[in-house]
Structure 1
Amino acid sequence: MSRLPTLPSLSASPRLPTSPRFWRSPLRGPWFTSVLGVVLLGGITVLFVTGLLSYAAYNPDLSPVNDKTPDKGLLGFYLFAWPTDPPWLYRLSQGVHVTLGITLIPVLLAKLWSVIPRLFALPPARSLTHALERLSLLLLVGGALFEFVTGVLNVQLDYVFPGSFYPLHFYGAWVFFAAFAAHAVLRAPAAVRNLRRLRDEPEPAREEDARGAEASPAAPRPAEPTVTRRGALWLVGGGSLLLFLTTAGQGFDGFARRTALLAPHGGAEPGSGPGGFQINKTAASRGIVAAETSAVAWRLTVTGPAGTVRLSRAELLDLPLHSAALPIACVEGWSTSDQWWRGVRLADLAALVGHDEEAAPDVLVESLQRSGAFRRAALRANQVRDPRSLLALDVNGEPLTADHGFPARIIVPAAPGVLNTKWVARLTFGEL
């Protein structure tokens, strides 16, 4: 007698992720997802605000020199003249931005893992409202991955993405945060309800309601748990803490800097002595040769309404010199403690070429460097007029080293590091 073929058991685990029974983890559920969502709600809001501040600090309205996103249009509505007080402003805002962004990576990955069944739910659209919600979710997930990946690559000085980092990250941030804000508004009531539930009880999957809401991410037939939801949160929190501890030290010098294992370590080792602080771009990497920075060859060209003057380093040292204690802070998130800089005030150089130092205008700064961004950079009038803004010749009581910008560099309070131009060759005060 022939035997009938055995039919597959209805209880067998489905092979396709489009089936809710494909997902077996007992950790997924509204409460777990909501806790992660609340953390991201606060963290990503801070990231967005500090990111916009970082963009404003580059003075992108100084076109066409500093403008890296010429088609920003209404997205630049908030831009303002970047202040010089407090002098540690950019050090704080960008340090928070980079450190927090890296710290949130485990939370973001856990959040995406917790809701991944929803990405495979069928049918893809049950109504127009549901289709719009799925589209916003696509923008949210894609935007989050894009912003975090490009941000980490930029911090590590790995520019493998096409185009300039500035417009890519700027436009991506607006798309991502718009989707994030819409998602937060739609999900906030449910998140509050979920957080009030008993936290360790199994959470059965709920069918979608009449409004077409997504079903719960909880598995309808969960596997045996090997860790509690609280334990999973401790694991995510531990990963974030580890990233924080190996990143936060980049905002300091000395031993704390050596704990920042994930911080960029490009350039050269700073060594010890007066020049013993972080170097991001070396003279050699920017094509600077000793012959063109020597006392014989180098001259600073300063241009204004009264004409042009050319000054040697010795002539600059004969001008009235001033000192200021200022840090250097970079877009990659690292910063130094205050260094003592000595040089000629930018306002005094503006006065040399016909400007009233009390009304000194914007200035275009040009460097000897032959490669890299911001070989030409502009500073706003409020930055030029600040008495702490210097064309620095010395640091910590000694002449600048080649890698710190010898024979002269710009130092401006609260400005991003790339605007503190090294190896300065020309200053043009007035119309850019």
Structure 2
Amino acid sequence: MTDRRDLRALVDRLPVSPRFWRSPLRGTWLTSLLGAVLLAGVPLLFVTGLLSYAAYNPDLSPLNDKTPDKGLLGFYLFAWPTRPYWLYRVTQGVHVTVGVALIPVLLAKLWSVIPRFFALPPVRSVSQALDRLSLLFLVGGGLFTFLTGVLNVQLDYVFPGSFYRLHFYGAWVFMSAFAAHAALRIPGTVRILRQHGGPLAYIRSTTARPPVRTASDTTASDDLAAPDPAPPTLSRRGLAALVGGGSMLLLLTTAGQSIGGPLRRTALFAPHGGGDPGDGPNGFQINKPAALAGVTDRQTGEAWRLVVTGPRGQVRLSRTDLLAMPQHTAALPIACVEGWSTENQHWRGVRLRDLAALVGYEPDDAPDVLVESLQLHGSFRRAALRHNQVRDADSLLALQVNGADLSPDHGYPARVIVPAAPGVLNTKWVARLSFGRVA
């Protein structure tokens, strides 16, 4: 008898025993509440993420995207529009801001269900085996997707391959598992929340223990509730405040990078948020300075020429030649995949469709264009724009911004600026424009 008690005491010290998990806050109610928040937030992340991928015009392969087999998963792709001009700023700002704000909820959700990962026996039925398998993809895919997203926002490019490819596939794995898991869990989640007065009743509750069950309670037994709970150190209200406060803190210290204005200085956790980009006409955010891109003054000096090609052959233009052409102004922001954006800047330069006309195209029939940069390091040294982007009256090869010449870090001697396009497609230090050729 003593040996049996000793064995049970030893097992109770292991994660496989329900008695190992003693927090009085765990329970199906808490898990349902956190799951309901994720159910609202994760689909929004997925939709805005798909829109972000579409904005890169990945069908213009192999330049803008090198993701294999995207044809199967890219069934929704369409020609990314140029109107409204702030479209990408909003969709990507929402994607990054909401994603960062959901991190505390995701971690709390994983904490609330962790006893299930160690439950024995590992397989009790076919349906339970499928459920645990879906959890593997759900947890693994969720952590991978959120982690790669955060690393990209923080400019930590430690990926073993293209961020776009890894994040794209990770998101599909995560969302597929999330959809399957939600389909299985939504009925129970709704039933549990209704039985105990809804989310507000739970948050307002000051007791730390799960609701007392009665004989009339028709829900399944609460396998997450601790059978031997420890004395409470935090109330339900405190837990809700902790998770919600963490999300609100991340929201307030991230959102300013895409909202702009005075709130930009509150974006303390965003690399391009609260920093000082400098003063003057070129005093706004940049992603990669000229030195980091390997662009030198020698390349952008008097010897620089823009090469424009098309059916009539090749045209070489100096900056003086470009300034002598009809100049147009467009008020546009720059919005990047990391979630940061600028306020509207006043760009001045030559319309892309006018440059297409120099090499044999009617402005309203301008085709896709391959844009090549002087930069030596990093991706998107060569990028492509769709014909609808080339034909837009506000799509420019910009030579000036806010009444002054571009600075080297903003793309001097010339850069592309296109309405609603991701920042990386607004190529800096442009060396060549090849109309009608994107491969």
Which whole-Å CA distance do the structure 2 matches of 1:235 and 1:9 have between them? 38
Mapping of residues 281-300 of structure 1, within 5 Å: 281-294=288-301, 296-300=302-306
Number of the residue aligned with 2:175: 177
Letter in 2 for 1:364: L
Number of the residue aligned with 1:220: 227
Number of the residue aligned with 2:348: 342
What secondary structure sits across from 1:188 in the alignment? helix
Mapping of residues 227-376 of structure 1, within 5 Å: 227-253=234-260, 255-265=262-272, 269-294=276-301, 296-376=302-382
How far apart are residue 230 of structure 1 and its match? 2.3
How far apart are residue 279 of structure 1 and its match? 1.1
Q: Contact 1:205–1:215 (CA<8 Å) still a contact in 2?
A: no
Please identify, of 216-225 and 334-343, the stretch whose mean Cα deviation from structure 2 is larger: 216-225
Q: In structure 2, do the counterparts of structure 1 residues 204 and 23 end up closer, same or farther at CA, with 3 Å as the change threshold?
A: farther
How far apart are residue 228 of structure 1 and its match? 1.7
1:91 correspondence with 2:89: yes
Please identify, of 334-343 and 226-235, the stretch whose mean Cα deviation from structure 2 is larger: 226-235
Number of the residue aligned with 2:18: 20
How far apart are residue 71 of structure 1 and its match? 2.1
In structure 2, runs of 5+ residues without a counterpart are: 197-201, 214-219
What secondary structure sits across from 1:310 in the alignment? strand
Which whole-Å CA distance do the structure 2 matches of 1:51 and 1:214 have between them? 38
Letter in 2 for 1:389: S
What secondary structure sits across from 1:258 in the alignment? helix
Mapping of residues 33-432 of structure 1, within 5 Å: 33-198=31-196, 199=202, 200=205, 202-203=209-210, 216-253=223-260, 255-265=262-272, 269-294=276-301, 296-432=302-438
Letter in 2 for 1:246: T
Indicate the structure with greater helix content: 2
Please identify, of 405-414 and 186-195, the stretch whose mean Cα deviation from structure 2 is larger: 186-195
Letter in 2 for 1:284: A
What secondary structure sits across from 1:196 in the alignment? helix
How far apart are residue 252 of structure 1 and its match? 4.2
Letter in 2 for 1:283: A
Give the TM-score of the pair, scaled to structure 2.
0.92
Q: Contact 2:308–2:432 (CA<8 Å) still a contact in 1?
A: yes
Q: Contact 2:328–2:350 (CA<8 Å) still a contact in 1?
A: yes
Cα-to-partner distance string for 1:55-77 (whole Å, 9 max, x where unaligned): 00000000111123132231000
Q: Contact 2:123–2:129 (CA<8 Å) still a contact in 1?
A: yes
Cα-to-partner distance string for 1:293-331 (whole Å, 9 max, x where unaligned): 11x210000000011000000000000110000000000
Cα-to-partner distance string for 1:129-161 (whole Å, 9 max, x where unaligned): 211110001100001100011100011111112
How far apart are residue 227 of structure 1 and its match? 1.7
Which whole-Å CA distance do the structure 2 matches of 1:228 and 1:49 have between them? 35
How far apart are residue 196 of structure 1 and its match? 2.0
Cα-to-partner distance string for 1:328-351 (whole Å, 9 max, x where unaligned): 000000000100000000000000
What secondary structure sits across from 1:143 in the alignment? helix
Which whole-Å CA distance do the structure 2 matches of 1:5 and 1:126 have between them? 28
Q: Contact 1:205–1:220 (CA<8 Å) still a contact in 2?
A: no
What secondary structure sits across from 1:115 in the alignment? helix
Please identify, of 241-250 and 8-17, the stretch whose mean Cα deviation from structure 2 is larger: 8-17
Which whole-Å CA distance do the structure 1 matches of 2:332 and 2:6 have between them? 73
Which whole-Å CA distance do the structure 2 matches of 1:86 and 1:253 have between them? 18
Q: In structure 2, do the counterparts of structure 1 residues 9 and 126 end up closer, same or farther at CA, with 3 Å as the change threshold?
A: closer
How far apart are residue 215 of structure 1 and its match? 5.4
What secondary structure sits across from 2:309 in the alignment? strand
How far apart are residue 224 of structure 1 and its match? 1.4
Identity rate, percent: 71
Cα-to-partner distance string for 1:72-112 (whole Å, 9 max, x where unaligned): 23100000000000000000000000011110000000000
How far apart are residue 258 of structure 1 and its match? 2.1
Please identify, of 127-136 and 298-307, the stretch whose mean Cα deviation from structure 2 is larger: 127-136
In structure 1, runs of 5+ residues without a counterpart are: 207-212
Number of the residue aligned with 1:210: none
Letter in 1 for 2:75: F
What secondary structure sits across from 2:400 in the alignment? strand
Number of the residue aligned with 1:209: none
Q: Contact 1:287–1:369 (CA<8 Å) still a contact in 2?
A: yes
Which whole-Å CA distance do the structure 2 matches of 1:401 and 1:269 have between them? 16
Cα-to-partner distance string for 1:7-57 (whole Å, 9 max, x where unaligned): 549678811111111110000011111110000011001000000000000
Q: In structure 2, do the counterparts of structure 1 residues 5 and 321 end up closer, same or farther at CA, with 3 Å as the change threshold?
A: closer
Which whole-Å CA distance do the structure 2 matches of 1:320 and 1:153 have between them? 43
Cα-to-partner distance string for 1:160-193 (whole Å, 9 max, x where unaligned): 1211101100001001000000111100011111
Which whole-Å CA distance do the structure 1 matches of 2:60 and 2:244 have between them? 42
